[in-house]
Chain A
Amino acid sequence: MSEVAHHTDAKLVVTRDDRAAQQVVTLRGQIDDDAHLEGVATDLDRPVVVDLEGITFMNSLGVRAWVLFLDALRQRNIPVTLRRCAETVVDHMNMIMEARGHAGIESFYAPYTCDACGLETRALLEVSRHGEALRRHQPPQLPCSACGGTMSYDDIPNRSLLFLD
């Protein structure tokens, strides 16, 4: 059992948990010009889950660093599952196919708005639960945490769910 923290720079914290059958890598902070993830990939040697909930910002050079990270794992035939993808990561995956690469999607955050009280929030969508509807580009309605009303998906599915295709 081991848990290793890499601090690639002050803006991005990378934590690795080796205790389960799959290695779990958690990224928190910004993936930008200063992100270098190749070293993180080198340390992985079995199926990996990458938790992206804590990503607050990702720019174009960050996308490149991320793609290089995924590609290093693909070249070594290491399966990757992306967990709790932040919206900024989803945005880039919709535009850049390599930003998803060979990874599977376990869950991701999506924008939701309450039809009754107007609350704008993000909701975590599990692909195992909603996969069929998401593939039809018909994301589910969800209960509002503020008023109990109905929240609707607040983006254009034909554009914002392309990364699941």
Chain B
Amino acid sequence: MRPRRPILIVHGDAKTRRLVHRILGATFAPVRAVADLDEAAPDLAEVPPFLVVAEQAQLASERGQSLLAQGRDGQGPACLVLLEDGDVDLGMLASGSLTNLLTNPLPLFAEDLTITALKLLHRDIFGLEKYLSWGVEAEVHDLADPGERPDLVTAIGGHVEAAGLGSRVAHHASLIADELLSNAAHSTSGSVRLRYACDGRYLAIEVSDPAGDLRRETIMRSLTKAISRGIGKIEMRGRGAGIGLAAVYGACNHLVFNLAPGRRTEVIGLIDVRFRPAELGTTTPSFGLFWDRGSE
């Protein structure tokens, strides 16, 4: 019988390593926790993990870069960085090798870490419900005509503000919906669906379309634009300005891409409504890239 693929934790701090081990062990997937990638080498060769959870410095090493390169080809494990402080390595981000970044402080990232691992473990990636508590029902709107977008965007902003979530959250929700709907409407002739829901922790805004042509390079370029300083980010000609996804990332606490190439694209923007930005203190939003690999 083929052994079950494990989760590999690579972290130099023993206390964090044990905490993350306890969180991920609760998924009942096999978990191996090591201090560095050299220690992990024999395990990586024997039974490759489906998920590597690491501190950023570990993946910046030569062995880490090699591991990330496998992920870039879509063959290796998902690579998740826990960013406890400091900034994300823009080179690592721009190269398109990370699949997940969690930046919430301990212990808040525990929920997101568990959800990420379970999505990968069960190969079931779609749906905003995975990020919300049981019983929450989503508002659903199908956008048959791109001309309906402004009214829909105004409606979601009004709905969120009326719910008491505040004008800043309402504004960010409107921006996320607007940019995601605009992107989706331009990439498909089919119907685009907007769903949103809130459970008192996250306001989740999801846009999906049946085209499935959002590329990893586009995503990574957008995320890099959002958190880097510099000029020349805007495309001054053409259909789009090239900063829509970057603006969405900047408006979220956590941005999730669920991709089935050629079949479906789903993007979920999550805004933390429990904690205000100053309370969270994180300067970089989390993100997650998930691929539906069918029945491989």
Residues of A within 8 A of B (CB): 11, 32-33, 57, 59-61, 63-64, 67-68, 87-88, 91-92, 94-98, 111, 113, 120, 122, 152-156, 158-160, 162
Contact = CB atoms under 8 A, between A and B. Distances in A.
B246 A95 contact: yes
Nearest to A122: B167
A97 B178 CA distance: 22
A88 B171 contact: yes
Interface of B: 150, 153, 157, 166-168, 171, 174-175, 178-179, 182, 225-226, 229-231, 233-236, 240-244, 246-247, 250-251, 276-278, 281-283
B250 A91 contact: yes
The interface centre, meaning the residue of A64, A154, A158 with most chain B CB atoms within 10 A of its CB, is A64
A96 B243 contact: yes
A155 B280 CA distance: 9
Main secondary structure of the interface of B (DSSP, over half): helix
B247 A156 contact: no
A113 B166 CA distance: 12
21 contacts: A57-B175, A59-B182, A60-B241, A60-B244, A61-B182, A61-B241, A63-B247, A64-B234, A64-B235, A87-B171, A88-B171, A94-B250, A95-B226, A96-B243, A98-B234, A111-B168, A120-B168, A155-B277, A156-B281, A160-B277, A162-B229
A88 B278 CA distance: 18
Contact of A156 (B234, B235, B278): B278
A61 B242 CA distance: 9
A96 B243 CA distance: 9
Nearest to B175: A59
Contact of A97 (B150, B175, B182, B231): B231
Nearest to A56: B171
A143 B247 CA distance: 32
Contacts of B166: 120
B277 A57 contact: no
B229 A156 contact: no
Contacts of A91: 247, 250-251
Contacts of B277: 111, 154-156, 160
B168 A87 contact: yes
Nearest to A165: B229
B274 to A, nearest CB: 13
Instruction: Please give me the 7 A-B residue pairs with the lowest Cβ-Cβ distance, nearest first.
Output: A64-B241, A60-B244, A60-B241, A60-B243, A159-B283, A155-B277, A154-B278
Nearest to B243: A60
Contact of A153 (B179, B251, B278): B278
Contact of B243 (A63, A87, A155): A63
B240 to A, nearest CB: 7
Nearest to A57: B174
A144 to B, nearest CB: 15
A97 B179 contact: no
Nearest to B279: A154
A59 B235 CA distance: 14
A92 B247 contact: yes
Given A156-B281, A162-B229, 12 more contacts: A33-B182, A57-B153, A59-B178, A60-B241, A60-B244, A91-B251, A95-B243, A95-B246, A96-B234, A153-B278, A154-B276, A156-B277
A128 to B, nearest CB: 25
B179 A59 contact: yes
Contacts of B153: 57
A122 B168 CA distance: 9
Contacts of A97: 229-231
Given A57-B175, A59-B179, A97-B231, A113 B276 contact: yes
